[in-house]
Structure 1
């Protein structure tokens, strides 16, 4: 079983054949936009309703808890990404620090995370798109805008947007990143407008009782409730900065740009999230908007701002695809690096003339479309969280292990208080994972058992380190 612990050296990770290297075309502003584009999306536009339903007004605490864990993980990511400025994110770091077996599990979990996130955002986008079209007098048959779980047949709008984003990525990385910046500015403008219009209606009475379902995750009438239950899904709203680390190999100045991109995107999004959540709950009782497929637009319509509500919906329709773009970008890069390491068939890592891995991009789009077309948002988001939590635990471990094993290794960015930062990232993620529904944990286990079978049958024998 020694193949499970064989490791790549940090030096070998950053040295590779130029024909297998991605092109350096991105600057720090592209990375901040990529991070904000990935973070600000379904989590705040749609899952704020799901979180409020689980925790009531105390969803604000859920945002703070999830944000704290993610900030610690972001600091660990920033140190490791600048130390190993190549694609692969937590998979690459685990390969160099812990070993091939753990690297495979993390890479396989990241494939789950990015694929399922894309699907979750596509479903969230579909809810806003349908609402926007209905406000314009255009009705689409319910059977074509909802999966079997909601009494429909297939969610065609969700499939449509996945195909559109995949087409953007095939055009080229820099072109996609530039369009992403424009759409991110639109999203932030819409959220600023929401806060400005909702705050005048602020009623402190809407925060009472503040914690109606308690702190720990537990079942209430067959549903998981509590602050930690909300945090376990609200966590979905914060991550996305890890998608920035997957762009390390395509960054012009990794040492500077990756740190700015990862930390900068987290700071911007944490401030925006707390402001939006406080404004929404202050404007109306959480039960009045928690079940809506477009909660922010619903709040504004109730406050008699139908025009701005339509604008919010329109921006969500136009700009939520930036999240799909960021995560589909990240997923294709994870697949690409695993193929480059021969953990998956090497032909999957073939690049076209624009430096885009076509096969994995198209394959990702097909899988994401299948998930988005038939599954509900909350279950998709929870499963995505499970994969991400595993990756964040690995990154926290890598940070601590490298500080012990190679304390004098030159670091462009050094995470402050690494033992504390790493421990919070590890412990927080484990607690959040425990707070997920049992069925989600079971599905995650099944996914990794399938992955283990693939690794033992192919990756363990074919990887570059196998000789």
Structure 2
């Protein structure tokens, strides 16, 4: 392997925007800002509010509301940083691309490797969550689904077949075309919002303020309980954080946005604001309608709350709507993952043949590869471990993007910035420190697993990818 040229590890890359790419690597520009906002809302409002509200309430009690506020505030700071970098560098690849342009190749690789973890595990988590709702819905109709085919080996089954099936369906839709995917996504997002509004309307009359006492039974910090689970407001925020991200998937659409300098900022910031309001309203109504102890450990907490207040019919409707609408999250993240893989293939870190674009303007080969990888994870791994490990990858990406804003402001102060992060020297450090604190609030085994994942990644980089990367200056 010879001596490593240290300078080459920090070489930066001149980023080509979509229109500068060779034709066989060029994506079709088909997305306006309404489609991007819908992509963001579709990604953010999903398994987090439909399934993880129970996990968060179990760990923080009624103070789960504060957990939502904390996680939302940190994500809002990160979202503002993403909006600046996405409009400044309107190219696919999200945090990986920004890191390559600003921080250097080794940082880009670590971020890209972390994003592979984030997106793959998010898709897997949502697919497992969707499977739970779908099987519950079928059971409500009197159609039992075999337990062995509805759970992975860790839960006593063979494979989670519904999870694998829904990934295949969404991957097929993405290969059909981005414009077509965006239209279906828009319809499903509207359905999802209507479903949550129905839950609020039906559960609100059962609101009882007494359910908010004691407000923070496990404290406001982060304390480790049995099995390494972190309790308290910050412990719950670290897992609920999973319910807020998704806006970063919008930044992977930069090369397919019609007017990236305007549309990306509207999509990222707009979807984040809308989802924060939705989450706080739904979480407050959920806690008010039923004591936390009764729904905290449920895989389908909203449906359970409705059944508990005598609204079994509405619960079935919510479960059905969740089963229909949750794939919007799959679509957004599978889309984002395939675009990140695409850019890494263009850069030579993955086989370049995978970067070929089909006649419909979509990266079919990379989409199939992504779908196969996440299907294996979704079919075999349990939900809670997947979710917290996905959070670790995202936190690293968010820290990197905030750092890119600070470094870029200092080094390239005259660069064109269609969107400027307000109070950047307060917002970006707040994103970095907030994400770092949430990382320390993750379970110890999650942190160790993440370190192992990146050790594997650096091994792959030095043994395979580094010699093939061709973006920097020749050594």
Common fold by TM > 0.5: yes
Match of 2:94 among 80, 89, 93: 89
Partner of 1:49: 54
- Structure 1 stretch displaced more, 356-365 or 124-133: 356-365
Matched residues, number: 467
- Structure 1 stretch displaced more, 355-364 or 72-81: 355-364
Partner of 1:347: 353
Whole-angstrom distance in 1 between the partners of 2:154 and 2:305: 26
Cα 1:417–1:203 change in 2 (3 A) is same
CA RMSD of aligned residues (A): 1.2
Question: Does 1:444 pair with 2:450?
Answer: yes
Whole-angstrom distance in 1 between the partners of 2:84 and 2:225: 41
Question: Does 1:245 pair with 2:251?
Answer: yes
Partner of 1:385: 391
SS at match of 1:46: helix
Where do 1:348-387 residues align within 5 Å? 348-387=354-393
Partner of 2:80: 75
How far the C-alpha of 1:8 sits from its partner, in A, is 1.3
Partner of 1:113: 118
Cα 1:178–1:326 change in 2 (3 A) is same
Match of 2:279 among 273, 280, 303: 273
Is the CA contact 2:26–2:357 (under 8 Å) kept in the aligned structure 1? Answer: no
Question: Does 1:168 pair with 2:173?
Answer: yes
Whole-angstrom distance in 2 between the partners of 1:182 and 1:284: 31
Where do 1:293-332 residues align within 5 Å? 293-332=299-338
Whole-angstrom distance in 1 between the partners of 2:157 and 2:17: 51
Whole-angstrom distance in 2 between the partners of 1:239 and 1:193: 24
Where do 1:116-155 residues align within 5 Å? 116-155=121-160
How far the C-alpha of 1:10 sits from its partner, in A, is 5.0
SS at match of 2:230: strand
- Structure 1 stretch displaced more, 18-27 or 7-16: 7-16
SS at match of 2:68: helix
How far the C-alpha of 1:229 sits from its partner, in A, is 1.2
How far the C-alpha of 1:9 sits from its partner, in A, is 3.0
Q: Deviations over 1:326-384 (max 9, x none)?
A: 00000000000011011221111111111211221111111111111111111111011
Q: Deviations over 1:10-45 (max 9, x none)?
A: 578974323322111111111001000000000000
How far the C-alpha of 1:466 sits from its partner, in A, is 5.4
Is the CA contact 1:14–1:84 (under 8 Å) kept in the aligned structure 2? Answer: no
The gaps in structure 2 that reach 5 residues or longer are 1-5
Whole-angstrom distance in 2 between the partners of 1:20 and 1:147: 37
Q: Deviations over 1:104-142 (max 9, x none)?
A: 100111111000000000010011001100000000121
Whole-angstrom distance in 2 between the partners of 1:305 and 1:82: 46
Question: Does 1:228 pair with 2:234?
Answer: yes
Report the TM-score when normalising by structure 1: 0.98
Cα 1:324–1:13 change in 2 (3 A) is closer
Q: Deviations over 1:369-405 (max 9, x none)?
A: 1111111111111011000000000000001111111
Is the CA contact 1:125–1:158 (under 8 Å) kept in the aligned structure 2? Answer: yes
SS at match of 1:162: helix
How far the C-alpha of 1:458 sits from its partner, in A, is 2.1
Whole-angstrom distance in 2 between the partners of 1:97 and 1:33: 29
How far the C-alpha of 1:285 sits from its partner, in A, is 0.6
SS at match of 2:214: coil
Is the CA contact 2:12–2:104 (under 8 Å) kept in the aligned structure 1? Answer: yes
Where do 1:363-442 residues align within 5 Å? 363-442=369-448
Partner of 1:24: 29
Partner of 1:454: 460
Whole-angstrom distance in 2 between the partners of 1:434 and 1:206: 30
The gaps in structure 1 that reach 5 residues or longer are none
Whole-angstrom distance in 1 between the partners of 2:130 and 2:21: 39
